[in-house]
Structure 1
Amino acid sequence: MRFALSAEQQDFAASLHDFLTGADPVGAARAWAQGRHEPGFKVLRGLAELGVPALLIDEGHGGLGASPVDLVVAFEALGYHAVPGPLVETAAVAPAVEAAGSWWPALAAGEVFATVLAPPHVPLALDADIAGLVVDLGAGTAAPAGHGEFVQSVDPVRRLFRLGTSAPATDGRAFDLGVLAVAAQLLGAGQWLLDAAVAYAKQRSQYGRLIGEYQAVKHLLADVATHLELARPLVHGAAVTLSPRDVSAAKVKAGDAAYLAARTALQVHGAIGYTAEHDLGLRLTKVRALIGAWGDGGFHRERVLTP
């Protein structure tokens, strides 16, 4: 069986990339990290017009009734462009929780954002300061959100808040949709890192030659491309089955591929990659944070190995 995206899904991905290329999501992310949300809200409103938060909400509640594969298509683009905000929680998790049903029309329209608690793997609520809804996968509840106590993340764009304690998460499908969306984000971020490294290798010279002409650099970039291409069918396949083992395998492989892409991109860029002004740094911290988000590698590897 050959799995491939439909023409409609390819067009959807293209429309997202076209919009985000002109929407300056990186500038919005930098502002978001400083607590200035309006540039990010502008990007998120545009994504709502394209139907991103409505994907998994059924048509009877104002959504599109799309599939998890469509969700993966969207989140790969969101990861590529480093879009800020609680989109995993709003577009992937909340639509799968029945207790949030009364909120679905507002979520689909982009009028409300959700945040999620799912201990022990999601103990902190992302962007609770701007979310109107907190979904607790342990308690099985959905209620108006509170700000709570701010907790610093390795990625300053991911603004985390401690809202209190909760029972361990029990809604498996909602949790796995969150994991799947994060895996797709990692895949997109890894692809951006590869593209940026390839572009820089074609511009940077050492000893009178472009570094992209050196065989060692070509091998490094080819290795990243191979790992990303191996991760992609795992992510798409997990979107079809939504089995816990497949979702965890996708998260592990996408995380490993994105981490390799981050290391290689930094190596290719050299010292400039360490500067706060360069867009590379934004993706490096994003990848580092997402690898541990919604369950770390140890947890997901254990799920893969569990019969």
Structure 2
Amino acid sequence: MKFDLDQEQRDFAASIDAALGAADTPGAVRAWSQGDPEPGRRVWNQLSELGVTALAVPEEFDGIGAHPVDLVVAIEALGRWCVPGPVVESIAVAPTLLADQGERLAGLAAGELIATVALPPHTPRAVDADRADLVLLADNGRVSTAQAGTRHASVDPSRGVFDITANGETWDADIARAYELGALGTAAQLIGAGQAMLDTAVEYAKQRTQFGRVIGGYQAIKHKLADVHIALELARPLVYGAALSLADSAAGPLLADTARDVSAAKVAASDAALLAAHSALQTHGAIGFTSECDLSLWLLRVQALRPAWGDPTAHRRRVLEAI
């Protein structure tokens, strides 16, 4: 099976990188953490102009109806730039849970709505429910609109997590598929964050000197960063493969192997991103964890994303049960 991206997909990812690279995304993340969502909203407006928010929305509701591989390519780029807000919940999960609710789906596609989701038991709380325009609760086989309750502390201050309660309106949707998209999208975010930390560590290693040499010249640093590169390159095809598995079951019930493929991708991406975080921090030293250093934003984001949409232990269990 071939996992190489085509030129159109590469160009799409490059266009997202160009837009977010010029948008001071780290500043937007810091502002989001401090209670000012406006810079982050401007980033989301740029994503809507690029069509990112419309990817998973069906064409009949003004969306793109993109292939799941296109979706994970985009979300990986958002992870690479540490975009604030409920990225996976709004872009990947909510379109499935909204079923055929045309007005809301059109709002998501246009970037007029940002949605967040809780899907117990693996995702019992909703990210940024205080700032989302639409809060959804998928529980007991039904989906309902909901409202934010108690806020809970998160290791990543830019990701507030909230208890939510249903507030009346309910409908049916494909909750099983929504969960797989949430786990897969989170895996793609982790790959993007891991790649960003690797790139940052490599650049730092080329500039930082110690004992009269740049630290990138030492084998201990080279080998450490090479291990991260290998881990990411092995995890990325699993993410693409899981996206293909979801696409194969698009017309009906999920295939038996889809849960296994998604869980394998989530585990590999979680492990690769954690290795990238450890190695990048060791390369930078203590400065890497200071709030002034952009690396700290990715370090905290990875710690928050690893347990999101099922922690590595739960996903390893699903892989073992499948085999």
Question: TM > 0.5 between the two?
Answer: yes
In structure 2, what is the Cα distance between the partners aligned to 1:90 and 1:199? 33
1:125 Cα offset (Å): 0.9
- Report if the CA contact (8 A) 2:137-2:165 is conserved: no
Match in the other structure for 2:270:
255
Runs of 4+ in 1 over 6 A off after TM superposition: none
Match in the other structure for 1:141:
143
In structure 2, what is the Cα distance between the partners aligned to 1:100 and 1:161? 27
Match in the other structure for 1:152:
153
Counterpart check, 1:211 vs 2:215? yes
Counterpart check, 1:162 vs 2:163? yes
1:135 Cα offset (Å): 2.1
Match in the other structure for 1:51:
51
- Report if the CA contact (8 A) 1:95-1:101 is conserved: no
1:100 Cα offset (Å): 6.3
- CA displacement, residues 227-246 of structure 1 (integer Å, 9 cap, x when unaligned): 00000100111110021110
Secondary structure (helix, strand or coil) at the match of 1:75 reads helix
Q: Residue 265 of structure 2 aligns to which amino acid in structure 1?
A: A
- Deviates further, 33-42 or 169-178: 169-178
- Report if the CA contact (8 A) 1:248-1:303 is conserved: yes
- Report if the CA contact (8 A) 1:100-1:141 is conserved: no
Secondary structure (helix, strand or coil) at the match of 1:292 reads coil
- Report if the CA contact (8 A) 1:48-1:109 is conserved: yes
Secondary structure (helix, strand or coil) at the match of 1:192 reads helix
- TM-score where L is the length of structure 2: 0.91
In structure 1, what is the Cα distance between the partners aligned to 2:198 and 2:129? 32
In structure 2, what is the Cα distance between the partners aligned to 1:115 and 1:142? 12
Aligned-residue sequence identity (percent) comes to 57
- CA displacement, residues 67-124 of structure 1 (integer Å, 9 cap, x when unaligned): 1101100111000000001121111001112456231001110111111111111111
Match in the other structure for 2:253:
none
Question: Alignment length, in residue pairs?
Answer: 304
- Report if the CA contact (8 A) 2:137-2:166 is conserved: no
Secondary structure (helix, strand or coil) at the match of 2:306 reads helix
- Deviates further, 112-121 or 257-266: 112-121
Match in the other structure for 1:240:
244
Among 157, 177, 184, the residue aligned to 2:181:
177
- CA displacement, residues 147-170 of structure 1 (integer Å, 9 cap, x when unaligned): 32111101001011111489xx98
Secondary structure (helix, strand or coil) at the match of 2:117 reads strand
Ranges in structure 1 where 5+ consecutive residues have no aligned partner = none
Secondary structure (helix, strand or coil) at the match of 1:306 reads helix
Matches within 5 A, 1:7-22: 7-22=7-22
- Report if the CA contact (8 A) 2:216-2:222 is conserved: yes
Match in the other structure for 1:81:
81
- Deviates further, 7-16 or 100-109: 100-109
Counterpart check, 1:128 vs 2:129? yes
Match in the other structure for 2:287:
272
Q: Residue 115 of structure 2 aligns to which amino acid in structure 1?
A: A
Secondary structure (helix, strand or coil) at the match of 2:53 reads coil
Counterpart check, 1:105 vs 2:106? yes
Q: Residue 178 of structure 1 aligns to which amino acid in structure 2?
A: G
In structure 2, what is the Cα distance between the partners aligned to 1:244 and 1:100? 24
- CA displacement, residues 126-160 of structure 1 (integer Å, 9 cap, x when unaligned): 111121222222142242x4232111101001011
Counterpart check, 1:223 vs 2:238? no
In structure 2, what is the Cα distance between the partners aligned to 1:174 and 1:302? 20
Q: Residue 76 of structure 2 aligns to which amino acid in structure 1?
A: E
- TM-score where L is the length of structure 1: 0.96
In structure 1, what is the Cα distance between the partners aligned to 2:166 and 2:73? 33
